[in-house]
Structure formats: C-alpha cells, structure tokens
Copies of this chain bind each other. A is one copy, B any other.
Amino acid sequence: MQVAALVRSLHPAEIAELLESLPPAQRAIVWDLVDEEDEGDVLLELNDEVRASILERMDAEDVVAATEGMSLDDLADFVADLPEAVTRQVLRSLSEQDKERLQKVLAYPEDSAGGLMDPDTISVRPDVSLEVVLRYLRILGEIPDRTDAIWVVDRNDRFLGTLYLARLVSREPQATVSQVMDRELKPIPYDRSASEVAREFSNRDLLSAPVVDAEGRLIGQITIDDVVDVIEDQAEHDFLSMAGLDEEDDMFAPVITSAQRRTIWLAVNLATAFVAAAVVGLFEATLQQVVVLAVLMPVVASMGGIAGSQTLTLMIRGMAMGRVQGANARWLLRKEVAVGILNGLAWALVVAGITVAFFGTWEVGLVIAAAIAINLVVAALAGFAVPLLLKKLRIDPALAGSVVLTTITDVVGFMSFLGLGTLFLT
C-alpha cells in the first residue's frame, strides 16, 4: 500500500523514469499502481521500447482511455506506434474535426517541423487593441499554462508577427497588437528538419515558434519541450551509435533480445578483424623469423586507432552541429594532417626509444618508428575522409565510422609494420 501511495505522488515523467529503470517483472507491478488518469502521460514519457512492452499488456479500451486529453502532436506520435486495430479504435473515439487535424499532422514526416508541431494555436489580428485581445482570451478561458506567445495573422491566416504575453500584460491596453508585436521571429517552414529546428531554438533561445505552410499560412506551433526531446535524442543517438547500439534500446530488455541486437555489431567487427588477420597472415614467414614483430604489432595498430578516432569524433560532432562545410573542410583537412604528422613524428621517436631500450634492437626500432608515423598520418586522413564519405553514401557516420576507421588503421598499421619488417629485417 505504501508503494502505491509513493507512485501516486510522482510526476508522470518520474514514473516513466522509474519504469525504465526497472527489470520487467517489477515494471509490471509498478505499472498496475499508476493512476488511470496518469496512464496517458506516463506512456508519452516512456521510450519506444518500454512503451511497446507495456502497450502489449493493455487491452484496446484502456489504450483509448489513455489517449484522452492528449494534445494533437502527442497523440500523433503515440498513434504512430500503435497496432493497426487499436489505432482505428482511437480514431473512432475522436470528433470529426480532431480526426481531420490529426490526419494532417500524421501526413508530415515525424522528424520535420510539420511532424513536431501542435496544430492547436491561438491567433489574433494586428489591428485590434490589447484590451480586446485580453477580453478574447478571457472568453477562451483555458490556455495552456506554459504559453509564452500568441500569433498575429491576417485575414487569410498568413503569419505577421508574435505577440508575447509579457508585452500583452505590461503595455497599455489601448495600444494595438501591431504596435507591440515582435516582427523579428521568423516563422518555421513546415518542411524544415527537426535537427535544424532544434538548432534554431537553441541558438535563438526560443520557447515557441510558429509553423507555416508554403504560402506562409499559420498551421501550428512548436514548443521548446518537444525540441528538448529532439536535442536529447540526437545526443543519445550519436553516443550510443558509436558502439553499435540503438537509442531506443531498453537497458532492461530480455537477454535474448539484447544478445541478438548486439551480435550484429560483433559480426561486422569479426569480418573486419579477419581482414586485418589476413594482412598479418601475408607475413607469416617474417613473423616466424622475427617474433618480436608479433609482440609489437598491437602497439602500432592501437596508436593509429586512437589518433584516428579523435579526428573522427571531432568530425562527427562538427557535422552534426553543421560546422563542417565545403568552405572550411580543406582548412580542417590540412590541420588534421598536420596534427597527424606532428604526433606521428613525436610518438615514432618515443616508441623507437622504448623498443631499443627493451628489446635492444635498433633495426626494429626504426621499423616501428616508420610504421607509427605512417599510421598516424593515415589515421588523420581517414578520420577526416571516412565520415564525409559515409555521409555521401547516406550511411550514418556515427554508426559505421568507427568500424571503418579502425579497419583502415589496423590494415595500414599491420601492413606498414610487417611490410617494412619484411623488407629490412629478413
């Protein structure tokens, strides 16, 4: 009973966090304790996979009941993940008008301004006084608590400007809307990508922004809470992708599911590892003669891997932030290669020194120095070029960049080290 009271005292988002942090058995128990009227809000806050696992256990009526009171943009996201039959039941529960508006939102891609927006907006005409606006809002009675602005449109619904509530409450009531409205905030075209919308919100410190169609007519608004979700998802995507994981993964997914998913990445890695092994295999005879090469070859490969992934990480981040463009790409390439040469020479000397000191052979020292210098320069080139190339091929650089890069640095590392070893030591 005490647990029930605790769950009831939490905010829906906190219940969602709790559910995401629980193994499946406890998750079901806690879900049963959630207030019926909170169920919809909690479902909205859950990540896709946990949400799906809970939806599976609900019957259709409960799902329909949970959708009550959702705003249209939330409902659109929610419906996208429901089974066909339940979606039809949800649609049937809506009024004709809401159904039509929902279908409009669903028609836009999820990761565009149109997909992010809420079609419910409040708009006023430019020629009325603030007093009239206030009277109109009092008649409406209910406007969402976290509203910071309403929109000014002409008689054809074309967007003209922004009326901040801050100005509405602090300017003289006789002033007209057009006198106090802001004309600087540019409306967002419906087809702008979600990540561009996020960057604009973040750069311009926006709380909400109007969305317009191709003719400049107001069709909805985007609020910062949806944008924060976009920013968090994007960061999570880049972070997890580099280990071949998916941002919608449930930490507490069943063992079999997790093992299957991760095994794909292990398979890709195995294929590339065998490519590297094949390169080593070319030099079997050399290795048998100069066994110290086998001892030192992991050093050459791993130094290249680290140097390359530094450049790669900077590039992936820079590209995600829109900071790498044609104009500065050549400057960056020159810089990264220069860093590679500098670090390559420095570490070639260090490694050569250690090799001579521990293995007492200056011939091997020279060979490993040359191999490290070569590998660090190639690593810089690859760290720069691989993400750009993958993007051209429409492959996510965050997902595939690291595997491609380490394959290159492994192959180049083994090839140059064992190749030079064969030439000069046998």
Contacts and interface: CB of A to CB of B under 8 A. Distances in A.
Which has the most chain B C-beta neighbours within 10 Å: A249, A281, A294, A312? A294
A236 B171 CA distance: 41
Given A165-B166, A239-B317, A288-B288, A276 B298 contact: yes
Interface stretch (A12-20, A32-40, A58-66, A84-92): A12-20
B277 A298 contact: yes
Nearest to A22: B328
Nearest to A142: B170
Contacts of A202: 13, 228-229, 232
A310 B164 contact: no
A303 B273 contact: yes
A318 interface: yes
Nearest to A162: B145
Given A170-B137, A231-B232, A328-B22, A14 B270 contact: no
B342 A259 contact: yes
Nearest to A13: B203
A146 B164 contact: yes
A172 B138 contact: yes
B147 A274 contact: no
Contacts of A242: 242, 313
A299 B284 contact: no
A410 B21 contact: no
A203 B169 CA distance: 29
Interface stretch (A99-107, A108-116, A261-269): A261-269
Interface in A249-296: 249, 251-252, 255-256, 258-259, 262-263, 265-266, 269-270, 273-274, 276-277, 280-281, 284, 287-288, 291-292, 294-296
B13 A266 contact: no
A28 interface: no
A306 interface: yes
A210 B277 CA distance: 60
Given A17-B323, A228-B228, A410 B298 contact: yes
A283 to B, nearest CB: 9
A303 B270 contact: yes
Given A165-B148, A203-B45, A171 B339 contact: no
A68 interface: no
B146 A170 contact: no
Contact of A244 (B269, B310, B318): B310
A335 B262 CA distance: 13
A17 B203 CA distance: 9
Contact of A350 (B205, B270, B292, B297): B270
Interface in A54-74: none
Contacts of A252: 328, 331-332, 335
B170 A342 contact: no
Contacts of A142: 170
A314 B207 CA distance: 31
A354 interface: yes
Given A242-B313, A255-B339, A258-B339, 16 more contacts: A13-B204, A21-B324, A146-B205, A146-B207, A148-B207, A224-B228, A231-B235, A232-B235, A243-B314, A255-B342, A266-B307, A266-B347, A270-B350, A273-B302, A276-B298, A298-B414
Interface of A: 11, 13-14, 17, 20-23, 45, 134, 137-138, 140-148, 164-172, 182, 201-207, 224-225, 228-229, 231-232, 235-236, 238-240, 242-245, 249, 251-252, 255-256, 258-259, 262-263, 265-266, 269-270, 273-274, 276-277, 280-281, 284, 287-288, 291-292, 294-299, 301-303, 306-307, 309-310, 312-314, 317-318, 322-325, 328, 331-332, 335, 338-339, 342-343, 346-347, 350-351, 354, 406, 410, 414
Give the 6 A-B CB pairs with smallest separation, nearest first. A235-B235, A13-B203, A294-B294, A243-B313, A205-B225, A165-B165
